[in-house]
Amino acid sequence: MKFTVNRNLFLDNLNNVMHAISSRATIPILSGIKLNLTETELLLTGSDTDISIEIKIPVSEDLTVDSTGSIVLPARFFSEIIRRLPGKEFSLEVKESFQTQIISENSEFTINGLDANNYPRLPEIPDESSFVISGKTFREIINETQFAVATQESRLVLTGVHFTFSPDKIHAVATDSHRLSSRALTLENGPQTKTDLIIPGKSLLELARIIGETDPEIKVCPGENQVLFEIGNILFYSRLLEGSYPDTERLIPTDSTTTVEFDLMELSSALDRASLLTHAGRNNVVDLTLDTEKQSAKLSGESAEIGNVEEDVSFKKLEGNNLKISFNPDYLRDALKASVTDSVIMDFTQPLRPFTVNPDKTDINFVQLITPVRTF
């Protein structure tokens, strides 16, 4: 196996494959990257069993083939070597006993590879039920829900985002049982039949990074226990989580006794200041006191070791009953970061009942739910 390739072109694709490689691989060969060269293309593959990424680089003036073949190379060392090579291009040749020589200008490396025949095969997913979605739309809905997945694996199904795709809508919901984020967007070319997928949050985070700030067309191919996303020359496989996702719709209150509308930036800044001290304490809790008679909203927090903080927060509208509620400020901070409007409406029922954070526009289907903290 021998080829010569443009270093920047190769490095861009290599960096994307590296998203799928774990430094703590349970199967030793998965700490490597597989290179498979044919007469027409070079295929780069990385996997950690949860995520697999395959990228095709077609033969062109930037990639010339001398002889075909395959090899698995240690991913971390290989990527660092390619990153530090001096020239605009490099040549790679596999010699006896899987020893691999990499040459660029005056620099020459020889590293030990592994037999590619021992690398696990990627699943074959039929595209009979595939559909297309905008990369921008999918990245948005990931960013607006993924942060709310559970990090503890005691309830594995909650470590994923539950997606429901229909012909004209995509709905995603994530919860760790303390908070919830539910977002729905219209789709133009959704699947003809309703499709439910529970995709691990970690997979979605890597997928969002690969999509980046561009708006590529993504082909979604659901499989039995895997889903495949095709983005240009990138094939991104993710395992699916098994089990029944809880019925979260019934958790969202349908009415409220107190409503307040805040400017997003004003509330975010006040929350940052209020949580400065609470982060240092044992209990990371901030209090929000709403007085509808005096028309005041106050954030407060304290740390037994350091002191306390209290701040009046300006608002656009406040109506309903007086209320004092305690909550984890990090949950509200994450909710505000994911918000899509300049103002948010917070609806409350009781001090110990979950409250919602909503956009100030009724045509946006986005609700976030936060469970308060009992302080007595």
Q: State pLDDT tens for residues 238-280.
A: 999 999 999 999 999 989 999 999 999 999 999 999 888 888 7
202 pLDDT higher than 80? yes
CATH number at residue 13: 3.10.150.10
Cα separation, 368 vs 252, whole angstroms: 9
Cα separation, 195 vs 170, whole angstroms: 10
Residues 234 and 267 in one domain: no
Cα separation, 236 vs 55, whole angstroms: 9
Q: 218: domain range?
A: 131-239
| Cβ atoms < 10 Å from Cβ of 151 | 9
Q: How much is the pLDDT for 306?
A: 81
CATH number at residue 354: 3.70.10.10
Residues 142 and 103 in one domain: no
For residues 196-217, average pLDDT: 94
Residues 90 and 48 in one domain: yes
Joined together, the tokens standing for residue 58 give 């077609």
Q: Which residues fall within 8 angstroms of residue 24, CB to CB, at 6 or more apart?
A: none
Give the confidence band of 116 by pLDDT, cuts at 50, 70, 90.
Answer: very high
Percent residues over pLDDT 70 in the chain: 99
Cα separation, 229 vs 371, whole angstroms: 34
Residues 149 and 215 in one domain: yes
Joined together, the tokens standing for residue 96 give 């006896």
- How does pLDDT run across 52-79, given as a tens digit for each residue? 999 999 999 999 999 999 999 999 999 9
Residue 246 lies in a domain: no
304 pLDDT higher than 80? no
Residues 178 and 270 in one domain: no
Residue 80 lies in a domain: yes
Residues 99 and 11 in one domain: yes
Residue 315 lies in a domain: yes
- For the chain, give the mean pLDDT: 93
Give the confidence band of 376 by pLDDT, cuts at 50, 70, 90.
Answer: low
Residues 293 and 329 in one domain: yes
Domain boundary pick from 91, 118, 145:
118
Look at the chain and report how many structural domains it folds into.
Answer: 3
